[in-house]
Structure 1
Amino acid sequence: MRSVRRAAALALLFLSPGLALAADFDGSRLSAAWGVPFAGILLSIAVMPLLAPSFWHHHYGKVAAGWALAFFVPFAVIYGGAAASASLVHALLAEYIPFIVLLTALFTVAGGIHIRGNLHGSPALNTGILALGAVLASFMGTTGASVLMLRPLIRANDNRLHKAHVIVFFIFIVSNAGGSLTPLGDPPLFLGFLLGVDFFWTVGHILPETLFLLGSLLLVFFALDSWFFRREGVLPVDPTPDTRRLGFDGAVNFALLAAAVALVLLSGFWKSPLGFELMGTEVGLPGLVRDVGLVAVTLLSLRITAAKVHADNQFSWGPMVEVAKLFAGIFLTIVPVIAMLKAGVNGPFGAVVSAVTRPDGQPDPAMYFWACGLLSSFLDNAPTYLVFFNTAGGDSATLMTTLAPTLAAISAGAVFMGANTYIGNAPNLMVKAIAEDRGIRMPGFFGYMAWSCAILVPLFIFMTFIWF
């Protein structure tokens, strides 16, 4: 079991702010009431920017900290300070610190790459950027592709009146669906790879589903963007357009981006007995090397990137600060939720786990697709993938052959449905924060879900009847 937890932790660190499994306590002993702080922080993210925007803008960090304390203080009183401290240390050392180090590195390195040239956001260009980002996502991760491609897309649409839909579809396509073809693309698939799933198994078994989803989203986007483009008419472009040939400034950061990907992959493959343990949380040498290397990548990027490149990218730390504070609260309050989910049929979520099995005892791929997907929409998709992977038997050889439809359903649900909410997958909230920092008025939490329910859910229903 310890090796599974370690594999999960490694996978969650791959180009995504993932959540490792909860600290060692029995989730079957907990009641569903322990999920209230997690629900509270989600509702705060959803409604407070609408009901109290000024308060939220200045105090969202305090709100996140308040919900974290709402879990840890009662937990410490009931289960003891040692259990609460162990959970806190695990959340920080095994999850949050590696997450924030990796995300900061990707944010900084991508912020040091400026795509220059006279880009104007026509429907054809926007669709092309989304398609390119989808391809990159399966090779450099959804987070890496998102932070790299977002800024040129925003800059290309500076003169457009309607921009929010462009960012929403960017999240659908680049930040989620595009990462479904290889273990490099999204943490759940990397976790499956560490558990014995062949590297090319996913591309061989959910390629039709991926092509259908991406193709449908690109077609819908092109039609919608064309409609908005016609309504806007011919708008004046930037009064000082960039007439230089298309190219890159700060291209040395591509090497640093490759180094960041290599460091994360190294930490997944390198096995070493060296390390230390702090209050039950193992900190191994591969993880330490990865994190120190990522910090070095961040500092080196800041040192060698010209100030003009950052200025051209309108680089600021605001989005990074927002994501760091909010995800700190999410990481801490989700601890009991993941523990309860791990408890399987014996835990408060036992009905969900039981629902994926047919009366004859065989797994139901359609139910696996929806159960894994819906939970991945609100919880981190990597531990959710692990729970249903083990529910389906946990043997990679059997899942890749006899139960291949079930593994395909788990993989597709975890990756595709991370797009249903802002918190469903690592880069979603980051993309929203960067877009808002650049002056784009993004839909709120429920407003974004209205987009996903209108666009994604019908496609998922169609996919269920065809493939699952």
Structure 2
Amino acid sequence: METKNSDSFGVEVVTSSDSLSEIESEDAHHHAPAWSVIPFALLLIMIATGPLFYEHFWHKNYPIVACILAALVVLYYLFGLHNVHAPVHAFAEYAQFIALLSGLFIASGGIMIEVDKEAKPVTNVIILLIGAVVANIIGTTGASMLLIRPFIRLNKNRIKPYHIIFFIFMVSNIGGSLTPIGDPPLFLGFLKGVPFFWTLEHNFIPWLFACLALATIFYFTDKKNKSDYSFGESTHQPSNTVTLVGTKNFLWLAVIVGAVFLDPNVLDWVPAIHYDGQKFSFIREIIMLTAGYLSYKFANKEALQWNEFNFEPIREVAFIFIGIFGTMMPALELVGNFAQSDAGAAMITHNSLYWGTGLLSGFLDNAPTYLNFLTAALASQGGSISTMSDVIGFSNGEFVDSILSLKAISVAAVFFGSMTYIGNGPNFMVKSIAEQVGIKMPSFFGYIIRFSIPILLPLFVIVWLVFFYWGIL
């Protein structure tokens, strides 16, 4: 069977159904099949079970395991699917991710904060709430690295895993919901066209509700901790002062945060690598890594020593997320394709966007998950993520239910990143720092079963009911 079409010059073009089938087959050839998510699933299983059942092997070989699994998927994309586009994008996103995390981790490691107070529940709550605010200024990674060590030292005689878990909940994740600097998915939304103060305007009440709810739960949990609030047998009397050492590193933090805005897709004068019609930044990443290096080279040695600073936490994150970014390409692609299909588009509401974005953000990196669901939400109404005017219009409510949909995606991507150790980059670093000082942290599944399901899941259900399903606030 043949079909006739006219090209732009009026010339009749004959296309057979066989040719169309070949084109469709060729196009489908570039898409990942369902079984290609196996390496990603295997990596998640090993992250969860390694520290429990084969700890020595895992801690010695996790870099090799992560790199091999990532390489298998990347090679399959390159030579099996002949898809270069996805691996290049994954590499670019990983470079942006690790440059920001590394810079913030190193620069904050040269700042020593000493809180000379009694480790009472109220003091801990205040630190957690301050961290939730600071996360919007220097990012969840910067706030986490700046405050986790003084938080641990303050509670040195009564530290328990729940202290670290609530820190991850409030400072490493939910706290960073108010600005694009706060968390990577919000920053990606800003680069696509979401106004800078949009998140502050629309996410503030859910952020405040979640932070106060978690602070209340933490307060009563911490109050039951019968360990001595004082400094044990020491005769030291707390002076109720806060001491800062290495304050010059705040300047390096400012450089790193400022570099975030040097995006060639927003500022045409910023040099970029051009590939496949898109511009990829590299100046920004060079500045971040250089600032991190210089902040370490010229850091206050006393602050580094007091913080017991070393590179193992960022090394662990770097290798684990090589595996995650490399192996999650098929999973993201399958989710994105379904969401943009007719069947998927028919299911898209602000409620499904909240739960879809949220649940996947807990197990996939929340930044690309945010972009996938924003792409699907726009596509379902005829918009495009690649058109900045469409994204701005979506943010301003020019599409049906678009403000509530974007709010659902934004809140869920940031909030649900706290559901697992791999939901957000700082989670793993905080866990690693805690374990280095001897705190016995729960396993991957232990984290989910003991803390995420009984504490976070009910809270997120309430957030959904109040702000999205019933729309009370």
Higher-Rg structure is 2
TM-aligned CA distance change 1:234 to 1:194, over 3 Å: closer
TM-aligned CA distance change 1:291 to 1:398, over 3 Å: closer
Query: Any idea what the Cα deviations from partners look like across 1:405-460, whole Å, max 9, x if unmatched?
Result: 22211111111111111111121111111111221111111111121111011011
TM-aligned CA distance change 1:35 to 1:211, over 3 Å: same
Within 5 Å, which residues of 2 pair with 1:345-384? Answer: 345=339, 353-354=344-345, 356-357=347-348, 364-384=349-369
Whichever residue aligns with residue 369 of structure 1, its letter is Y
Whichever residue aligns with residue 466 of structure 1, its letter is V
- Larger mean Cα displacement after TM superposition, 333-342 or 424-433: 333-342
Provide the secondary structure at the position in 1 that maps to 2:310: coil
Q: 2 CA distance for matches of 1:222 and 1:356?
A: 40
1:132 pairs with 108, 130, 133, which one? 130
Q: 2 CA distance for matches of 1:408 and 1:27?
A: 35
1:441 is aligned to 440
Instruction: Indicate yes or no: 2:72 matched with 1:70.
Output: yes
Instruction: Indicate yes or no: 2:319 matched with 1:325.
Output: yes
Instruction: Indicate yes or no: 2:43 matched with 1:49.
Output: no
Instruction: Indicate yes or no: 2:299 matched with 1:297.
Output: no
- Larger mean Cα displacement after TM superposition, 177-186 or 380-389: 380-389
Q: How many residues align?
A: 425
Q: 1 CA distance for matches of 2:345 and 2:245?
A: 53
Within 5 Å, which residues of 2 pair with 1:250-289? Answer: 250-267=246-263, 269-272=266-269, 274-277=271-274, 280=276, 284=280, 287-289=281-283
Q: 2 CA distance for matches of 1:125 and 1:173?
A: 15
User: Which structure is richer in relative contact order (CA contacts within 8 A, separation 6 or more)?
Assistant: 1
Instruction: Indicate yes or no: 2:329 matched with 1:335.
Output: yes
Within 5 Å, which residues of 2 pair with 1:239-250? Answer: 239=234, 245-250=241-246
Whichever residue aligns with residue 185 of structure 1, its letter is G
Q: 2 CA distance for matches of 1:328 and 1:270?
A: 29
Query: Any idea what the Cα deviations from partners look like across 1:174-230, whole Å, max 9, x if unmatched?
Result: 1111111122212222222233323222222232211111110000001001111x2
Native 8 Å contact 1:319 1:430 kept in 2? yes
Give the TM-score normalised by the residue count of structure 1: 0.84
TM-aligned CA distance change 1:224 to 1:398, over 3 Å: same
TM-aligned CA distance change 1:55 to 1:283, over 3 Å: same
Provide the secondary structure at the position in 1 that maps to 2:178: coil
Native 8 Å contact 1:182 1:199 kept in 2? yes
Report the RMSD for the aligned CA atoms in angstroms. 2.6
1:5 is aligned to none
- Larger mean Cα displacement after TM superposition, 207-216 or 338-347: 338-347
Provide the secondary structure at the position in 2 that maps to 1:443: coil
Q: 2 CA distance for matches of 1:410 and 1:34?
A: 26
Q: 1 CA distance for matches of 2:128 and 2:271?
A: 43
Unaligned runs of 5+ in 1: 1-24, 358-363
1:6 is aligned to none
Q: 2 CA distance for matches of 1:187 and 1:79?
A: 29
Instruction: Indicate yes or no: 2:458 matched with 1:458.
Output: yes
Q: 1 CA distance for matches of 2:95 and 2:376?
A: 29
- Larger mean Cα displacement after TM superposition, 101-110 or 450-459: 101-110
Q: 2 CA distance for matches of 1:335 and 1:175?
A: 25
Whichever residue aligns with residue 453 of structure 1, its letter is I
Whichever residue aligns with residue 47 of structure 2, its letter is I
Give the TM-score normalised by the residue count of structure 2: 0.83
1:237 is aligned to 232
Q: 2 CA distance for matches of 1:250 and 1:234?
A: 28
Instruction: Indicate yes or no: 2:215 matched with 1:218.
Output: yes
2:194 is aligned to 197
Provide the secondary structure at the position in 1 that maps to 2:282: helix
Q: 2 CA distance for matches of 1:276 and 1:207?
A: 36
Instruction: Indicate yes or no: 2:101 matched with 1:103.
Output: yes
Q: 2 CA distance for matches of 1:58 and 1:142?
A: 28
TM-aligned CA distance change 1:368 to 1:310, over 3 Å: same
Q: 2 CA distance for matches of 1:293 and 1:164?
A: 36
